[in-house]
Chains A and B, each alone.
Chain A
Amino acid sequence: MKTVRLPKTRLEAFGAVLQGFGEVHAPVEDGSVHVFQRLEDWSAVCLDYMRTVLPPKKYFLPPRETMFRYSPESGYVACTDDLDRKLVLFGLHPCDISALNILDLVFGGKYPDPYFQARRKNIAIVGIDCIPDEHCFCRSMRSDIIDHGFDLFLYDIGDHYLTFVGTARGDDMVLAAPTLFEEISRVDIDEYKRRSSIKRAAFQIDLEIRDLPEIFDMEYESTIWQTLGARCLACGSCSMVCPTCYCYDVVDQVELGTDTSTRERTWDSCLFSSHARVAGGENFRDCQADRIKFRFYHKQRGFVAEYGRPSCVGCGRCATSCPIGIDIVEVLRGLRGVDHVRDS
């Protein structure tokens, strides 16, 4: 992969160059939290954030979007608003980029989702590396290091960002800033390797995931699910903040007094009692214990069967956003029955 370096002092200048590739959105401080939003001024960017409240999925699968407009004359006409908007998402962590790669599996396939695909094409991604905190387990979920899914990826190596160029568009970004980037040296490579080991050693959580599907099958009747079901408030926060939760609901909205309507999709959660309920009232997941079990089961077991990896990237958002403190790491450790804390 083409690799160059960007002196940190030139980051702001590069930010200005990126404006030529689309509206730049980046993590900014919002009270005590961080959110991805449009960058009005480069000084607002916050690159040493831990995790944003909502993941970047909101740009690709918006919380609410109009899919069709219906009228008796024209039938269902696809809504293309916003699909062509060019954006540059700046400062994504590896877990969030990995999550978008996972969403690609779902929204591609035999029936590609044209809304998701259009946004994926029009939104550029510049990632940046990070140091894990006590909730991060991306390394266990094989999402701490990514080799695709970004146009550019920046590693902090002191006075410079080592910059991996992942796509032709990323290369164009570098070429558009010929005076900003430099060739890398042996010293940079060594510094990258040194910092990579430091990051690896910083993980406080180490989970074995390879036989999790088998454990989930065997522990399907475990009392752990009843205990969790009794605690879960069914608020759905974990699904909303999850970078890979993709369940959505579809509703038609009639424009009052007309025979035209819109068809919208909105984020949904398998923790809501309506998720598996069919017309007539039958509910295939009738109690909260079944629903919270399903959420874990689908991520760690079902997704593996379908796509060959769990749909969890270990970002820690669900654990930090749960109002009653349900922590996925504790759940997975509880299922395995062994404490897998790394002793260092």
Chain B
Amino acid sequence: MSVTADPATRPVLRDNPFAPHMARIVRVFKMVPDNHLFTVRFVDDQLAGQFDHRPGQFIMLSVPGTGEAPISISSSPTRPGVLELCIRRVGRLTNALYRLPPSGLVGIRGPYGNGFPVEQMEGSDLLLAAGGLGMAPLRSLLWYAIDNRDRFNNITLMYGARTPADMLFRDELVSLADRADVNCLLTVDSDPTRAWTKHIGFLPALFDQATIDPATTYAAVCGPPAVYRFILERLLRLGFTKDRVLMSLERRMKCGVGKCGHCSVGYKYTCIHGPIFTYWDAINLPEMV
């Protein structure tokens, strides 16, 4: 009996790392104007069930006919079945995404990147510090830690937004602030609504409301450059060792798998060596922040 090789078993068709899998937008939550939370589910049920990621990893999101961009995963792997993607409308691709009809199709491949070293962080205190859009990648870690509450000691979240209307995941985080097992500290720079009941002031002021032991804590920081500047300085002053401070970086990416060259910082690629880097990496890599 002769056997003919099935052309579909060729690597380019079988194991193509660039091939997006189709996924359906199953929910769009208009969290903040021009910053919606898209819930997507792989069309292939088996893939939807099998997809696993680490907090801090990202996917490459394709909008058919428009292109592809890296998007961090905002949902926790402890809540599988769907992926939540917090996406700001900021360019050509995201504009096209916002124009897709309900239950529209997108392409997804991944997960990529190193993610947070959660095994290494287990048994420690966690400090998550985010400003503005920096909450998007940290939310995955937040819920991972809460869903595995017995693996971590104190969990502290410090999150600052410009106004309550700009706060990502606001309702969810406000109700989290009522829980005793998480120290959820929220602040806004200003409150035009006068309805905000939490702290008003800049993010670093929240340090006054928390007791952080640098020897037993891993800090995860994400936000705009000003957040890095003030929070990192504060953490060092508290006595943090530089490899216990973790940061999530954003870069232009075209492949996600260490080929296309766009996401390099100094001599590392954000896509495969990152996007999570320690502060030690950051000060040793040029062009980091």
Contacts and interface: CB of A to CB of B under 8 A. Distances in A.
A113 B93 CA distance: 24
Contacts of B262: 247, 249, 268, 275-276
A250 B67 contact: yes
Interface stretch (A19-27, A179-187, A277-285): A277-285
21 contacts: A75-B107, A76-B20, A80-B7, A80-B10, A80-B12, A111-B17, A112-B15, A113-B18, A114-B16, A250-B67, A252-B62, A254-B65, A268-B260, A279-B69, A279-B91, A279-B94, A284-B287, A290-B287, A294-B264, A297-B266, A302-B268
Main secondary structure of the interface of A (DSSP, over half): mixed
Interface in A287-310: 290, 294, 297-298, 301-306
Interface in B242-289: 250-252, 254-255, 257-262, 264-268, 272, 286-287
Closest 9 A-B residue pairs measured CB to CB? A279-B91, A302-B267, A247-B261, A111-B257, A114-B12, A261-B65, A114-B11, A111-B17, A280-B90
Given A68-B19, A117-B11, A305-B267, A248 B67 contact: no
Name the residue among B67, B262, B265 with the largest chain A CB count within 10 angstroms: B262
A308 to B, nearest CB: 12
A294 B264 CA distance: 9
Interface in B3-17: 7, 10-13, 15-17
A276 B251 contact: yes
B257 A110 contact: yes
B7 to A, nearest CB: 8
Given A76-B20, A110-B257, A111-B257, 8 more contacts: A83-B12, A106-B258, A111-B259, A246-B259, A265-B260, A284-B287, A294-B264, A301-B267
Question: Counting chain A CB atoms within 10 Å of each CB, which of B105, B258, B264, B265 scores highest?
Answer: B264
Contacts of A249: 254, 260, 262
Interface of B: 7, 10-13, 15-22, 62, 64-69, 88, 90-94, 105, 107, 250-252, 254-255, 257-262, 264-268, 272, 286-287
Contacts of B272: 110
Contacts of A297: 266-267, 286
A76 B17 CA distance: 12
Interface in A257-283: 259, 261, 263, 265, 268, 270, 275-280
B72 to A, nearest CB: 13
A72 interface: yes
Contacts of A78: 12-13, 16, 18-19
B22 A75 contact: yes
A118 interface: yes
Interface string A114-131: 110110000000000000
Contact of A278 (B18, B251, B287): B251
B66 A80 contact: no
Contacts of A36: none
Given A75-B22, A298-B264, A261 B251 contact: no
Contact of B252 (A106, A118, A277): A277
A178 interface: no
A109 interface: yes
A68 B18 contact: yes
A335 interface: no
A220 interface: yes
A113 B12 CA distance: 8
Contacts of B15: 112, 114
Nearest to B95: A279
Contact of B17 (A70, A113, A305): A113
Contacts of A276: 251-252, 262
A338 interface: no
A107 interface: yes
Contact of A285 (B105, B250, B257, B287): B287
A1 interface: no
A242 B259 CA distance: 16
Given A279-B93, A302-B267, A250 B20 contact: no
A254 to B, nearest CB: 4
Contacts of B94: 279
A112 B17 contact: yes
A4 interface: no
Interface in A34-57: none
A123 B190 CA distance: 64
A251 interface: yes
Nearest to A279: B91
A250 B267 contact: no
Contacts of B11: 112, 114, 117-118
